[in-house]
Structure 1
Amino acid sequence: MPERKRIALLIDCDNVSHNSIEGVLEELAKHGMVNVRHAHGDWKSQSLSGWIDRLHPHAIRPMQQFAYTKGKNATDAAMIIDAMDLLYSKNVDAFALMTSDSDFTPLVLRILESGLPVYGFGETKTPQPFVDACSTFIYTENLVAQKEEKSENHKQPVKKSRNELRKDTALVKLLRTAVEQTSEDDGWAHLSKVGHYISNNSSFSSINYGYKKLGDLIRASELFDMEMRKDGTAMYIRDARK
């Protein structure tokens, strides 16, 4: 059995809500074990009161950073130093950055250069450069919706409709290119290869469209023919235009 990936989760508490932390940890559990959990911020500030209640239940270590100079974000610098210390320690196999601040884009690029993936989590206000730089990026509002669905009224998560998916030209291009690049001679592509191609070339996550799995999103788009092979254990897809 392969060893589980060790993930360092660094949280910029000044720039992201505490409401989605449960969903973030659930997502990261799919990739490995979150053995480092650091929450950066000035814990004397009343604005972080919501985070305080989330620390102990989720074994998150608060990292105190005083605001030495008004108007300067000391938390950013401290979090970057923390990330580089962890990178050089070689005790982690991946990073997760929970922030809506594009100032961390250079940090993401530096970590990627070392061969480690970076999972990004931030609010919909997160600037596109940071979103695009991450290996995978999930908008935290979608994770909050999923948590509320489980714990309160059991409503279905908001999913993009067939027409909404088709109108997203960037999404359609990404999916069609992935299928084209991974297809075999007969035009059919194994879904897992399509997923690998997408993850290697974008920060795409089906969760941002309301779907837990890539296959569910592709089925809803009706852009591709779908076929189950190998006794129903392998899904193959083909551009429906062919």
Structure 2
Amino acid sequence: MSETKRIALLIDCDNVRATAIEGVLEELATHGTVNVRHAHGDWNNPSLSAWADKLHPHAIRPMQQFAYTKGKNATDSAMIIDAMDLLYSGNVDAFALMTSDSDFTPLVLRILESGFPVYGFGEKKTPQPFVDSCSPFIFIENLLPAKKGDDESAPVTARVPRAKLRQDARLVKLLRTAVDQTVNDDGWADMSRVGSYISNNNPSFSPVNYGYRRLSDLLKATEFFKIDHQESRMLVRDPKS
């Protein structure tokens, strides 16, 4: 039995909303245990009051960084130093960065070079270079809690409808290529291999960004693929291949 992956969550409180932290922690729980939880920011700043309310309920450690010079973001430097210290500590197996700032892209690339996955979480305004560097990247708008009066069991973000999925040329090409490259002699591809192919070739991809928890649900929603459920595995095929 494999050991549980230890994940270090570093939060840039200056430019990401506190309301998504529950969803982020729930998502990370599917990957391992978040044994390091650091929230970086100037805690003397009233704008971080929403984050301050989230610290104790979620066992998040506040990392104080004073704004020594107006207009300069000292939080970024402190968070990078923290990440590098953790990288060499030997106490974590993966990183999660909660930020919408593309300045952290070089940090992500450096961590990846050391063989550690980096889960990214940020708002939809996040620049594409940072999104593409993470493995994977999830927009926090898809992880926000349901509003009062809504069905809390319903998806937070509405699923992208079939018609829109089919019109997304980049998505369709990604899915069809993944199935085609992992297909067996009988024309069927193992779903786990399809997922691995996507992770290796497009690590920032996540079905959550389309409103689906599982890759199989996303494939099924496009109605481009046939899905076969077996006792020990799930198979997929593209009839047009």
**TM tier relative to shorter chain:** over 0.9
- The SS at the match of 1:176 is helix
TM-score scaled by length of structure 1: 0.95
- The SS at the match of 2:146 is helix
TM-score scaled by length of structure 2: 0.95
Instruction: Within 5 Å, give how 1:121-160 maps onto structure 2.
Output: 121-144=121-144, 147-148=145-146, 152-154=149-151, 156-157=154-155, 158-160=158-160
- The SS at the match of 1:39 is strand
Q: Residue in 1 aligned with 2:226?
A: 225
- The SS at the match of 2:173 is helix
CA shift for structure 1 position 200:
1.6
CA distance in 1, matches of 2:17, 2:206: 20
Instruction: Within 5 Å, give how 1:14-53 maps onto structure 2.
Output: 14-53=14-53
Q: Residue in 2 aligned with 1:234?
A: 233
Instruction: Within 5 Å, give how 1:48-197 maps onto structure 2.
Output: 48-144=48-144, 147-148=145-146, 152-154=149-151, 156-157=154-155, 158-197=158-197
CA-atom RMSD in angstroms: 1.2
Query: Per-residue CA shift, 1:137-176, capped at 9, x if unaligned?
Result: 00001100xx217x75216320011111011111111101
CA distance in 2, matches of 1:7, 1:98: 13
**Counterpart residue type for residue 148 of structure 1:** A
Change (3 A) 1:239 1:110: same
Tell me which stretches of 4 or more aligned residues in structure 1 moved more than 4 Å.
Answer: none
**Counterpart residue type for residue 208 of structure 1:** N
CA distance in 2, matches of 1:166, 1:65: 46
Change (3 A) 1:109 1:85: same
- The SS at the match of 1:180 is helix
**Counterpart residue type for residue 13 of structure 2:** C
CA distance in 2, matches of 1:188, 1:241: 12
Q: Which is richer in helix?
A: 1
Query: Per-residue CA shift, 1:102-160, capped at 9, x if unaligned?
Result: 0000000000000000000000000000000001000001100xx217x7521632001
CA distance in 1, matches of 2:16, 2:195: 28
Query: Per-residue CA shift, 1:175-217, capped at 9, x if unaligned?
Result: 0111111111222110011011111222111111011111111
CA shift for structure 1 position 240:
2.4
CA distance in 2, matches of 1:240, 1:165: 18
CA distance in 2, matches of 1:219, 1:28: 24
Retained in 2: the 8 A contact 1:65–1:74? Answer: yes
Segment drifting more, 196-205 vs 128-137: 196-205
CA distance in 1, matches of 2:206, 2:83: 24
Q: Residue in 1 aligned with 2:206?
A: 205
Query: Per-residue CA shift, 1:30-69, capped at 9, x if unaligned?
Result: 0100000000000011110100000000000000001111
Retained in 2: the 8 A contact 1:135–1:200? Answer: no
Retained in 2: the 8 A contact 1:41–1:65? Answer: yes
